[in-house]
Structure 1
Amino acid sequence: MYIWTLVGGLSAVGGIGLSYASAIEPDNFNVTSALENLGVDVSKIPALQSFSGLQSRSNRNGCAAACESLSFLFSTKVSAQNSTGYNNFTGSFWSVQQEEVQPHCVFRPTVNTEVSTAVLLSRYTDCEFAARSGGHAAFTGASSAPGGISIWFKDMNEVALNDDKSVASIQPGNNWLSVYSALEPYGLAVIGGRAASIGVGGFMLGGGISYHSNLYGWACDNVQSFEVVTASGVIVTASEFSHSDLYWALRGGGNNFGLVTRYNLYTIPCPEMRGGARTFLQTEFTDVVNAFINVANNASADGHAQQYVAFLQTGGTNLALAELTYTKNVTNPEIFKQYRSIPAVADTTTAKTLVQYVEYLEADNPFGLREVYWPITVHLNEDFANWIVEVFYSMIPQVANVTGSQPVVIYQAITEPMLKKMSNFGGNALGFDASTGPIHLMHLSCWWTNESDDAIVYSFVNSFWDKVITQAKSLGLDNDYIYMNYASMFQDPIASYGDSNKALLKSIASKYDPKAIYQTLQPGYFKLDGAPVTGSF
Structure 2
Amino acid sequence: MKFLKETVLAVCAATQALALPSQAPPGEIQTALANLGVDVATIPQLSGNPTENGCQIACNALSHIHGSEKVIANNTTAYQSITHSYWSAQQGEVKPACIFAPTVDTDVSIVILLSQLTQCPFAAKSGGHAAFSGASNSQGGITILFRDLNEITLNEDRSVASIGPGNNWGQVYKALERHDVTVVGGRMSDIGVGGLLTGGGISYCSNLYGWALDNVESFEVVSAIDGNILTASATQHPDLYWALRGGGNNFGLVTKFNLYTFPGSLLRGGTRVFSEDQFSNVISAFVDVAEKANDDPNAQQYVMFANLGGTNVASAELTYAQNVSNPAIFETYHATPAISDSTSSRTMSQYADDGAAQDPYGMRDVFWNRSYKLDEDFANWVVKLWLAVLPRISSISNAMAGLTFQAITDPILEKMTRAGGNALGLDESNGPILLLHVLGMWNGASGDDAIYRLINDFFANVTAEADSRGLGNKFIYMNYASHVQDVIASYGADNKAKLQKIASKYDPAGVYQTLQPGHFKLTRSPVPNPY
**TM > 0.5 fold call:** yes
Aligned to 1:490: 484
Q: 1:90 to 1:26 in 2, by over 3 A?
A: closer
Aligned to 2:321: 327
Aligned to 1:516: 510
- Once the two structures are TM-superposed, the CA of residue 42 in structure 1 deviates from its matched residue by 0.6
68, 71, 75: which one aligns with 1:82: 75
Q: Contact conserved, 2:24 with 2:509, CA < 8 A, in 1?
A: no
The answer to whether 1:35 aligns with 2:33 is yes
Any gaps of 5 or more consecutive residues in structure 1?
A: 1-24
Query: Matches of residues 194-343 of structure 1 in structure 2 within 5 Å?
Result: 194-232=187-225, 233-343=227-337
- Once the two structures are TM-superposed, the CA of residue 28 in structure 1 deviates from its matched residue by 9.7
Aligned to 2:17: none
Aligned to 2:18: none
Letter in 2 for 1:241: T
429, 437, 450: which one aligns with 2:431: 437
Counterparts of 1:431 and 1:100, CA distance in 2: 34
- Secondary structure of 1:242's partner? coil
63, 81, 90: which one aligns with 1:97: 90
The answer to whether 1:353 aligns with 2:321 is no
Letter in 1 for 2:455: V
- Secondary structure of 2:134's partner? coil
- Once the two structures are TM-superposed, the CA of residue 187 in structure 1 deviates from its matched residue by 1.2
Counterparts of 2:386 and 2:396, CA distance in 1: 16
Counterparts of 1:98 and 1:44, CA distance in 2: 36
Q: Could you report, residue by residue, the CA deviation over 1:150-193 in whole angstroms, capped at 9, with x for unpaired residues? A: 00000110100000000000000000000000000111110100
- Once the two structures are TM-superposed, the CA of residue 29 in structure 1 deviates from its matched residue by 7.4
Aligned to 1:68: 60
501, 505, 515: which one aligns with 2:495: 501
Letter in 1 for 2:62: L
Letter in 2 for 1:415: T
Letter in 2 for 1:467: N
Counterparts of 2:462 and 2:357, CA distance in 1: 29
Q: Could you report, residue by residue, the CA deviation over 1:508-528 in whole angstroms, capped at 9, with x for unpaired residues? A: 000000000000000000000
Q: Could you report, residue by residue, the CA deviation over 1:460-502 in whole angstroms, capped at 9, with x for unpaired residues? A: 1111111111111111111000000000011011001110000
403, 406, 413: which one aligns with 1:409: 403
Aligned to 1:5: none
The answer to whether 1:525 aligns with 2:523 is no
TM, length-normalised to structure 1: 0.93
Counterparts of 1:439 and 1:225, CA distance in 2: 28
Counterparts of 1:356 and 1:419, CA distance in 2: 28
- Secondary structure of 1:324's partner? strand
- Once the two structures are TM-superposed, the CA of residue 366 in structure 1 deviates from its matched residue by 1.1
Aligned to 2:9: none
Aligned to 2:149: 156
The answer to whether 1:44 aligns with 2:37 is no
Aligned residues: 507
- Secondary structure of 1:301's partner? coil
Letter in 1 for 2:63: S
Any gaps of 5 or more consecutive residues in structure 2?
A: 1-22
Letter in 2 for 1:81: N
Counterparts of 1:530 and 1:523, CA distance in 2: 10
Counterparts of 2:453 and 2:27, CA distance in 1: 46
Aligned to 1:19: none
TM, length-normalised to structure 2: 0.94
Counterparts of 2:338 and 2:75, CA distance in 1: 50
Identical positions, percent:
54
Counterparts of 1:216 and 1:256, CA distance in 2: 26
Aligned to 2:10: none
- Once the two structures are TM-superposed, the CA of residue 309 in structure 1 deviates from its matched residue by 0.2
Counterparts of 2:322 and 2:331, CA distance in 1: 16
Counterparts of 1:412 and 1:234, CA distance in 2: 39
Aligned to 1:192: 185
Which is worse superposed, 77-86 or 238-247? 77-86
Query: Matches of residues 460-471 of structure 1 in structure 2 within 5 Å?
Result: 460-471=454-465
Instruction: Say what the alpha-carbon RMSD is for the aligned residues.
Output: 1.2
Counterparts of 1:33 and 1:373, CA distance in 2: 43
Counterparts of 2:296 and 2:80, CA distance in 1: 47
Q: 1:465 to 1:486 in 2, by over 3 A?
A: same
Aligned to 2:357: 363
Aligned to 2:12: none
Query: Matches of residues 51-62 of structure 1 in structure 2 within 5 Å?
Result: 51=49, 57-58=51-52, 61-62=53-54
Aligned to 2:19: none
- Secondary structure of 1:446's partner? strand
- Secondary structure of 1:228's partner? strand
Letter in 2 for 1:200: V
Counterparts of 2:41 and 2:372, CA distance in 1: 57
Counterparts of 1:217 and 1:355, CA distance in 2: 19
- Once the two structures are TM-superposed, the CA of residue 51 in structure 1 deviates from its matched residue by 2.8
Q: 1:429 to 1:27 in 2, by over 3 A?
A: farther
Aligned to 2:133: 140
The answer to whether 1:372 aligns with 2:372 is no
Which is worse superposed, 26-35 or 180-189? 26-35
